[in-house]
């Protein structure tokens, strides 16, 4: 089980590879996730946004979790596994969180309830209820997808709950992290790849970064340089990554990332499940130069 002090460094949210027929491709997954686990990452996130959680069946999450635990058995060091369990229904989130515990999850990633647009009090009670399951919870704030934004008071109250060990901040500003770090509210992980360096500089303890699926070590380098106080070197290292990050988010995540991973031979296909679509030919041209550097 992860503790607050364990939330340090770069966590990588994995894609969910599919066959051309749209079925789960566990062979590709084990090859690709196994390579990631060889890196000095802080952990793997299964069934997050990058893993196409809305279209992945829970039985498939179970298979992915089993495959992940299997490939990690013989690794030289322990690599924590975090499973995304959040939905916009508290009861189903509790169910999934209990199931994730049985799958051996070290923590769960729970998104702010989307679509329903609950009150701030309703959001707080959602997290309070899920945290009672007993699995460490990483809250996940991403207003662009949920349609609602945490108030500063609610964010701090969530962080104070027993069982909540940190928050993934995917808001499109520096306001939330500035407020949370100012009040020493607890660990904040950057989930907005373009703001990775800026949020580290403001006190983030690391990141959950889709872009870190490729060129992983360079994202780790940025974190390590900030920890050493080498801020200029960290900024220069991150600046060199910005074109890659921008390309990977030019069209909806994880479509660009899957195309890149398939082109690099790490997964068999770039197949997505509707309503997500393959990337445009124009974006392929923009990303092609990276194939020679990754």
* Phi, psi dihedral angles at 100 (to 5 degrees): -60, -35
Question: Would you call 149 helix, strand, or coil by DSSP?
Answer: coil
The answer to whether 110 and 82 are in contact (CB under 8 A) is no
**Catalytic, out of 168, 196, 199, 223:** 168
Which stretches of 3-105 are DSSP H helices?
26-37, 58-72, 90-102
140 is catalytic: yes
Q: Are 278 and 255 spatial neighbours (Cβ–Cβ below 8 Å)? A: yes
Out of 32, 140, 196, 223, pick the active-site residue. 140
8 Å CB contact between 92 and 124: no
Cα–Cα distance list, 92 to 26, 84, 100, 237 (Å): 25, 12, 12, 41
Nearest CA to 69 out of 21, 25, 102 is that of 102
- What CA–CA distance (Å, rounded) separates 84 from 61? 9
- Which of 231, 197, 226, 194 has the alpha carbon at shortest distance from 211? 194
Known active-site residue 168: yes
Nearest CA-CA partner of 220 in 5, 39, 2: 39
First to last CA, the chain: 33
Q: Classify burial at 193, counting beta carbons within 10 Å of its beta carbon; exposed 0-12, middle 13-18, buried 19 or more.
A: buried
Catalytic residue annotation = 140, 168
């Amino acid at each position: 089980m992860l503790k607050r002090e364990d939330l340090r460094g770069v966590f990588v949210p994995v894609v969910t590879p599919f066959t051309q027929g749209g079925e789960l491709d566990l062979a590709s997954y084990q090859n690709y996730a196994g390579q990631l686990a060889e890196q000095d990452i802080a952990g793997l996130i299964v069934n997050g946004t990058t893993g196409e959680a809305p279209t992945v069946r829970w039985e498939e999450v179970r298979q992915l979790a089993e495959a992940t635990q299997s490939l990690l058995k013989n690794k030289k060091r322990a690599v924590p596994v975090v499973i995304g369990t959040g939905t916009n229904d508290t009861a189903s989130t509790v169910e999934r969180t209990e199931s994730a515990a049985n799958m051996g999850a070290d923590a769960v990633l729970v998104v702010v309830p989307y679509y329903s647009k609950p009150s701030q009090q309703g959001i707080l009670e959602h997290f309070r209820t899920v945290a009672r399951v007993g699995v460490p919870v990483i809250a996940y704030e991403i207003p662009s997808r949920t349609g609602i934004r945490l108030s500063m008071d609610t964010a701090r109250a969530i962080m104070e709950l027993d069982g909540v060990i940190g928050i993934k901040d995917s808001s499109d500003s520096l306001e939330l992290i500035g407020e949370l770090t100012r009040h020493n509210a607890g660990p904040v992980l950057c989930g907005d790849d373009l703001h990775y360096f800026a949020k580290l500089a403001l006190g983030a303890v690391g990141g959950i970064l889709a872009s870190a699926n490729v060129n992983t070590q360079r994202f780790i380098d940025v974190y390590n340089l900030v920890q050493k106080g080498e801020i200029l070197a960290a900024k220069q290292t991150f600046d060199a990554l910005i074109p890659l990050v921008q390309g990977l988010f030019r069209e909806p995540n994880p479509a660009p990332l899957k195309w890149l991973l398939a082109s690099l031979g790490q997964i068999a296909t770039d197949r997505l499940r509707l309503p997500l679509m393959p990337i445009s030919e124009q974006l392929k041209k923009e990303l092609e130069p990276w194939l020679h550097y990754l």
